[in-house]
Structure 1
Amino acid sequence: MSSASHRGAAAVGHLADLPALEASVVHCLRLWSDAAEGRAALPEGRSTELLRQICGLCASYGRRPLMRHGLGCACLGADEACFAHMVAAASTGAREDALMLAALIVRPDLAPALVALSEQLGLALHRRPVIPTAPGRSAEGRAGLLH
């Protein structure tokens, strides 16, 4: 892959520096993106269903595939940071900020739908966060994964 294809995975920080909600969002995104193994590790319930809808929307109407780091990676990628901040903004009532971030992820006409789902996901994760517990897995051969 060229360096341009890794642009969204560029490290912009560390997971440990994120607020709990945003760290939980990134962990959920990484689990969801880890195929059947990761999805099985997500708790059944509202947040997992919302994540399925959000990731489906992003996959179908995204400007490009969301890049992410591996489950055990301490880095925070640019796309992960944008995604997590969008969910946090939506769930705390900062709708304009959330819409701006959503428009970076999906087509602008679908940004309101992404924000509405993100608001619900953020509220669900406020009530029941998904805490990182899984060890890292090999990133080899996984599309959209830097390390």
Structure 2
Amino acid sequence: MTSAQEKRGGAPVGFITELDGIEAASVIYLRLWCDGPDAQASVWNDFASSFGATQGRKVLKSFEHMCNLCSQYGRRPLMRHSVNCKCLGSDESCFANFIATAVTGDRDDAMLIATLLVRPDIAPLLTSLATDFGLALKRMNLRAPKHMVGEEPSLHSQPTILH
């Protein structure tokens, strides 16, 4: 893979604030999950406080399994921006669109989008997990983080690799 191909997935295509709640949450949780154990604990705390320990654990496991599949069977490493970046990278946009499409119940379109992220044989499993995760996000009270609203967006954050 060339350097240009690696960076293409991180190219800014918009801003987090332009996404709806489920899409924005998908991107933010992906960024947090990839940011390490402390940020992963924040993801767990959000899920546990929204759903309780038992259901929160199920949501966390769906999300964790989804991230692991993207990492292990990805067509290439997913690029992401830093947790606090207001930009939306092209890979992040694809991920958000995938989750949002899975939630609507349009399984065929969701599986088509999944093939942009992972090998085709993994797409059905990834789509099932995305549906479960997206439906959980739909039940949460989602708002854009305060630090991402009302300020001028910056296009200068450096993307990083998912794995």
**TM surpasses 0.5:** yes
Identical counterparts, % of pairs: 43
Deviations 1:68-122 (A, max 9, x none): 1111111101111111111110111111211111001000011010000000000
What amino acid does structure 1 have at the position aligned with 2:137? L
2:37 and 2:143 map into 1 onto residues whose CA distance is 18
Matched, 1:98 2:110: yes
Tell me the TM-score normalized by structure 2. Answer: 0.78
Matched, 1:113 2:125: yes
**Secondary structure in structure 1 of the residue aligned to 2:80:** coil
Report the counterpart of residue 56 of structure 1 in structure 2.
68
By how many angstroms is 1:2 displaced?
A: 2.5
1:131 and 1:68 map into 2 onto residues whose CA distance is 20
By how many angstroms is 1:130 displaced?
A: 5.9
1:47 and 1:14 map into 2 onto residues whose CA distance is 26
Long gaps (5+) in structure 2:
49-55, 149-156
Report the counterpart of residue 21 of structure 1 in structure 2.
22
Report the counterpart of residue 139 of structure 2 in structure 1.
127
Which residue of 85, 88, 112 maps to 1:73?
A: 85
Runs of 4+ in 1 over 4 A off after TM superposition: 129-136
Where do 1:27-46 residues align within 5 Å?
A: 27-42=28-43, 43=46, 44=48, 45=56, 46=58
Q: In angstroms, what is the RMSD of aligned CA positions?
A: 2.3
Count of residues in Structure 1 that have an aligned counterpart in Structure 2: 142
Q: Is the 8 A contact 1:71 1:135 kept in 2?
A: no
1:118 and 1:129 map into 2 onto residues whose CA distance is 18
**Secondary structure in structure 2 of the residue aligned to 1:24:** helix
Tell me the TM-score normalized by structure 1. Answer: 0.87
